[in-house]
Amino acid sequence: MAQKRVYFFGSGKAEGNAKMKELLGGKGANLAEMTSLGVPVPPGFTIATSVCGEYNKSKGKWPAGLEAEVKKNVEKLAKAMNAKFGDPKKPLLVSVRSGAAVSMPGMMDTVLNLGLNDDVVAGIIAKTGNARFAYDIYRRFIDMFGDVVMGCHHEHFEKILHQAKQKAKVANDNELSADQLKDVVDKYKAVYKKNVGKMFPQSGFDQLKLAINAVLDSWNIPRAVKYRELNKITGLLGTAVNVQAMVFGNMGDDCGTGVCFTRNPSTGKKEFYGEFLMNAQGEDVVAGIRTPVPLQKLSKVMPKCYKQLTALMTRLEKHYKDMQDMEFTIQEGKLYILQTRNGKRTAAAAVKCAVDMVKEKLITPNIAVTRVEPEQLDRLLHPSFDPRAKREVMTKGLPASPGAAVGQAVFTAEDAEAWKKKGKKVILVRIETSPEDIGGMDAAEGILTARGGMTSHAAVVARGMGKCCVAGVSDLNISEKAKKFSVGKTTIKEGDWISLDGTLGQVIKGKVPTVEPKLSGDFGKFMTICDKIRKLGVRTNADTPGDAARARDFGAEGIGLCRTEHMFFEGERIWPVRSMILAADDYADMLDDLETAQTNKEKDAINKQYAASKKQFEGALQKLLPYQRKDFEGIFKAMAGLPVTVRLLDPPLHEFLPQDKDNQAEMAKRLKVKPAFVKEEVDKLHEFNPMLGHRGCRLAVTYPAIYKMQARAIIEAALKVKKGGKVVLPEIMIPLVGSIEELALVKKDVIDEINKVFKETGKKIKYMVGTMIEVPRAALTADEVATQAEFFSFGTNDLTQMTMGFSRDDAGKFLGEYVKKGIYAVDPFQALDQTGVGKLVSIGIELGRKTNKKLKVGICGEHGGEPSSIDFCHRAGMNYVSCSPFRVPIARLAAAQAAIKNG
Residues marked as catalytic: 457, 860
- 403: nearest Cα among 384, 388, 386: 384
| Residue 726 to residue 713: CA distance in whole angstroms | 17
Query: Cα–chain-centroid distance for residue 529?
Result: 22
Backbone Cα Rg of the chain: 34
- 250: nearest Cα among 166, 340, 128: 128
Helix, strand, or coil (residue 425)? coil
Helix, strand, or coil (residue 122)? helix
- 480: nearest Cα among 414, 410, 411: 411
- 331: nearest Cα among 276, 250, 244, 277: 250
| HEC secondary structure over 450-496 | CCCCCCCHHHHHHHHHCCEEEECCCCCEEECCCCEEEECCEEEECCC
Crossing angle of helices 49-57 and 204-217, in 10° steps, is: 80
- Number of CB atoms found within 10 A of residue 434's CB: 16
Alpha helices in 169-270 (DSSP H): 178-196, 204-217, 222-230
Burial class (CB in 10 A: 0-12, 13-18, 19+), 300: exposed
- The contacts of residue 48 (CB under 8 Å, 6+ apart) are 4, 5, 6, 7, 23, 24, 240
Buried b (16+ CB within 10 A) or exposed e, 541-559: bbbbbebbbbbbebbbbbb
State which H helix or E strand residue 771 sits in: strand 768-773
Query: Cα–chain-centroid distance for residue 740?
Result: 42
Is 285:223 a contact under the CB 8 Å cutoff?
no
Crossing angle of helices 600-638 and 574-596, in 10° steps, is: 150
Is 624:708 a contact under the CB 8 Å cutoff?
no
What Å distances lie between residue 39 and 10, 247, 277, 337, 527, CA to CA? 10, 15, 22, 7, 37
Burial class (CB in 10 A: 0-12, 13-18, 19+), 366: middle
Buried b (16+ CB within 10 A) or exposed e, 229-238: eebeeeebbb
- Number of CB atoms found within 10 A of residue 903's CB: 4
| Residue 20 to residue 36: CA distance in whole angstroms | 14
What Å distances lie between residue 355 and 342, 529, 876, CA to CA? 17, 9, 30
Helix, strand, or coil (residue 779)? helix
Q: In degrees, to the nearest 5, what angle opens at C-alpha 406 toward C-alphas 404 and 412?
A: 110
Is 77:44 a contact under the CB 8 Å cutoff?
yes
| Residue 79 to residue 69: CA distance in whole angstroms | 15
- 214: nearest Cα among 174, 241, 190, 187: 241
Burial class (CB in 10 A: 0-12, 13-18, 19+), 618: middle
* Beta-bridge partners for 260: 274, 326
What Å distances lie between residue 173 and 168, 170, 450, CA to CA? 10, 8, 17
